A and B are shown apart, each in its own frame.
Chain A
Amino acid sequence: MDVTPGPGAAAGVIQSSPNWLTTRLDALVNWSRENSLWPMPFGTACCAIEMMAAFAARFDLARFGMERMAFSPRQSDMLICAGRLPYKLAPVIRRVWDQMPQPKWCISMGACASTGGIFDTYTMVQGIDNIVPVDVYVPGCPPRPEGLIYGIMLLQKKIRGESVFDPSLRVERQKDERGLFLEPRVTDEISEPFGNSVAQTRSA
């Protein structure tokens, strides 16, 4: 996975403080990006149904420019992981994410995608941010389509604040020498308070 700097970085000229030209260009680029995000729906479970409802006629994501659901990751901008992600599916979503070209964003839809949700079990990834970098977390079980739309609008606001001349925005974290994206301490501590018991008299 090579790190490709954005346009303008090679020139070196426009690395300094933004001026009227760069902000106007950024505004144009960001406006076009945020209003034509092509979502890559990675729908796994119940949240996928609410995502489908968001795409359908009542909540209509087409008015945000997202009517073209890109099921090919190579033609998409935004990965919406809707639903729980078991460990068996983790390398799949990582590969799909790697196949998406920059600029790309990720929305973690639902409690299970954000933190593992009610499934604190042997199969479930406790949050897809262990696997892919997430921009917006949408809580809910499942979030209403309005909730997903709010998350998308937050992402649009985030995109509005980006700059095309900042190459660090498009740099991706690589796997460290252990093969992880996050430190083990960070991943382990989310389940720590609940322990891991075979005694079924407890709730956990």
Chain B
Amino acid sequence: MATRTVTYDLATPGLERGGRPGRTPLAATAEPAMDTDHMLVNIGPQHPATHGVLRLVVELDGEVVVRVVPHVGYLHSGFEKLGEYRTYNQIVPLTDRNDYLAAMSNNVALAQAAEKLMGITITDRCRELRVIACEMSRILSHLVWAGTTGIDIGAFTVFLWLFHERERLYNLIEAWTGARLTTSLTRVGGLMADVPDGWTDELRRWCGRFPKVLDEVETLLSKNGIWLGRNVDVGAISAEDAINWSLSGPMIRASGVPYDVRKDWPYLGYETYDFDVPVGEHGDCYDRYLVRMEEMRQSVRILLQALDRLPEGPINVSDPKVILPPKDRAMADMEAMIFHFKQVMEGVPAPAGEAYQAIEGPRGELGYYFVSDGTAKPVRWRIRPPAFINLAAISKMSQGHLLSDLIAINASVDIVMGEVDR
């Protein structure tokens, strides 16, 4: 592991090389002087710092974490069971509620998986718009992550600034889909609606302003002695362990493994975009922070490219068996009405078979696995939940750290309980 050089602002005296404040003990290498029993502390499921209803049962030796056992399932909603009773287009609203910080990502992932299953190729305009939706969702999710991590570590200002940027994005999303959060953007074979006039100019203007906001946040955090002290060398996980624990997304990239689904298994034409994937080195919380901040900048880069190349044309495939006909035709033309009726009442049947399609969600590899028996409702809908799998490694990452480090590590995993518990 290379030595890391970090520069500091002068506001925080008493800092050692490596970023640690001289007086704060970090990983407990010294033996605790007291020979007492271990203490059992229950954190959650209702707790401000658990990012949802996660319960951590922590065995402590003084202030040092000996073992932490996460209990999940406090938000288990039966998504996968419910999906078996729904047609593919009816599952789209369910996906919004799954990972609610990046709802459009989930919508796109579902549409990609269903289209892979049914063998549908989407139009060019739809593809570029879905890329825009995915990258906007990535930024939205990372903004929440940065804000809530700031709150956990004690930096509340970041939350307010970044949530205001989210509000600007929400304005755009609401203009496009009608909803801020539960967007239900995609349909199998297309999208629910095209972007309104002037929307792309507004997004371009936002993309011009947003990097400056990120600069301001980095001024607050990246060289801040407290932030460094709380995050550097906290919760480190090596590259081999990260692969073995099946981590994905910024968690595995911060550990040095350059695995990004957009680059390795490209979808939606990502191989034609010019963007970098930030890869960390030490695998600690600070590297995850740097990776996510840089990912937001790269997402802006992709957004601008997608806006530049957005072609004119239809957003839906022209197959009337898959896409609802336009309303005026459905009301006037018998054939169109029959297509409309069959799609709404029976759903679009998928051929028997199965498909696994992964996308790079903000949390990691979000995979949707559909098994079909030839009917309109899937036999099995499996969500490969990146947050669930990343969370399992928290017991490994936090051993030997202090209790407050556990909070920082929990924040750096970037969980969303809707996805963990489904």
* A interface residue numbers (CB < 8 A to B): 42-46, 48-50, 52-53, 56-58, 69, 71, 83-84, 86, 88-89, 92-93, 96, 118-119, 121-124, 141-142, 144, 200-204
Contacts and interface: CB of A to CB of B under 8 A. Distances in A.
A96 B417 contact: no
Contacts, number: 101
A56 B164 contact: yes
Nearest to A40: B46
B327 to A, nearest CB: 23
7 contacts: A42-B46, A45-B77, A49-B101, A49-B181, A58-B167, A84-B75, A122-B81
Contacts of B86: 203
A50 B82 contact: no
Q: Which 7 A-B pairs have the closest CB atoms?
A: A121-B78, A46-B100, A56-B163, A71-B48, A89-B74, A58-B167, A119-B77
B160 to A, nearest CB: 5
Contact of B78 (A57, A58, A119): A119
B318 to A, nearest CB: 28
Contacts of A46: 96-97, 100, 181-182, 418
A86 B159 contact: no
Contacts of B377: 200-201
Contact of A84 (B48, B77, B164, B166): B77
Contacts of B84: 200
B180 interface: yes
Contacts of A204: 85
A172 B377 CA distance: 46
Nearest to A145: B180
Given A45-B77, A45-B97, A49-B144, 9 more contacts: A50-B181, A56-B160, A58-B164, A86-B74, A89-B75, A119-B77, A124-B78, A141-B182, A201-B377
B38 interface: no
B182 A92 contact: no
B75 A45 contact: yes
B150 interface: no
Interface string B155-167: 0000110011011
Nearest to A86: B76
B46 A57 contact: no
Nearest to B85: A200
Contacts of B421: 86
Contacts of B82: 118-119, 121
A179 B366 CA distance: 41
B47 interface: yes
B258 interface: no
B411 interface: no
Interface string B68-96: 00000111111001101110001001101
B52 interface: yes
Given A56-B163, A203-B86, A44 B181 contact: no
A130 B208 CA distance: 49
B76 A88 contact: yes
A69 B254 CA distance: 33
B168 to A, nearest CB: 9
A44 B94 CA distance: 16
B418 A45 contact: yes
A92 B74 contact: yes
Given A45-B417, A56-B164, A142-B182, A88 B74 contact: yes
A84 B47 CA distance: 16
B93 A118 contact: yes
B242 interface: no
B45 interface: yes
Q: Pick from B86, B97, B100, B181 the residue with the most CB of A within 10 Å.
A: B97
Contacts of B53: 44, 89, 92
Contacts of A144: 180
B163 A53 contact: yes
A202 B76 CA distance: 23
Interface string B394-422: 00000000000000000000000110010
Contacts of B45: 89, 92
A81 to B, nearest CB: 10
Given A44-B417, A89-B53, A142-B181, A56 B46 contact: no
Nearest to A42: B46
A121 B47 contact: no
B85 A124 contact: no
Given A118-B93, A118-B97, A53 B166 contact: yes
